[in-house]
Amino acid sequence: MRFLSYNIYKGGVNRLGRIAQVVRDCSPDIVGFCEANGWHDDNYQVLRYMQAATGLHNSFFCQANTAYHLVFLSLFSLFNTRCERVGLWHGSAVARYYSPDIGEVTIVLVHLDPRSEDERFKEVRLILSHFGLEKNLIMMGDFNSLSPADCYTQDIFLSLQRKSIRKFGDAALRYDVINSILDAGLHDVFDIKGRYPVSSVPTSLREDPTHIVPLRLDYIFVSPGLASYIKEVFFYTAGESLEASDHFPLVVDFAFS
């Protein structure tokens, strides 16, 4: 069972073929897209294109508070889908699917506030309060936050400061968001099967002016009951992924169906 988390940058305009190729190369069972801007226009024309181009025909479109919408594509039927917007800058998408091996799995796709760690911290506490510690929980997406596991240097902090990039901290880099998720009992999949150091930005696209140094902004977290099922974790950094988006997609393989 393969999950893919992918921020595609402002809807992937003029890059949809490349994005579809990245998805096909990764062969996921379920994809969570951040920044699905305009995918619902013209009777969901882009969404329907991506379904056909990837072979993932089950979908859920979550209309965010902003233009940065969220989308699930899946080989499997999704149920109890909903879009959470209250108290969130963009929003979060929630879906469930049934695994014959482990039962119901809850997936939460997030795109946290790009402005500051304080705002993101409020959001993630709200999201966590909705789910507690469910038995089979997967939380993934663009968290716009840094992890202490990535061991950022003072040089990286100073590089961000020189460009007046303070969304990750004013006096020092902050890790409040990721630490709060870990403190809640969820596991960062890279701590289980990944290899450090790792980053999800920048790619060759380099459209976002805050992506000036290697940073990991995209994550997948799992409840303790799912940790033992993880087989492989990696960012896909080959082929069209270099220019399909300003983020690399995150791939996680589980040993259940």
Tens of pLDDT along 99-116? Answer: 999 999 999 999 999 999
Q: What's this model's pTM, rounded to 2 decimal places?
A: 0.97
Pairing of strands 30-34, 58-62: unpaired
Residues contacting residue 129 through CB under 8 Å, at least 6 positions apart: none
Give the architecture (CATH level 2) of 2-254: 4-Layer Sandwich (3.60)
Residue closest to 25 by CA, chosen among 233, 253, 240, 247: 240
Q: How far apart are CA 126 and CA 41, in angstroms?
A: 30
Say whether pLDDT at 28 is over 70.
Answer: yes
Domain ranges of the chain: 2-254
pLDDT in tens, 106-164: 999 999 999 999 999 999 999 999 986 678 999 999 999 999 999 999 999 999 999 99
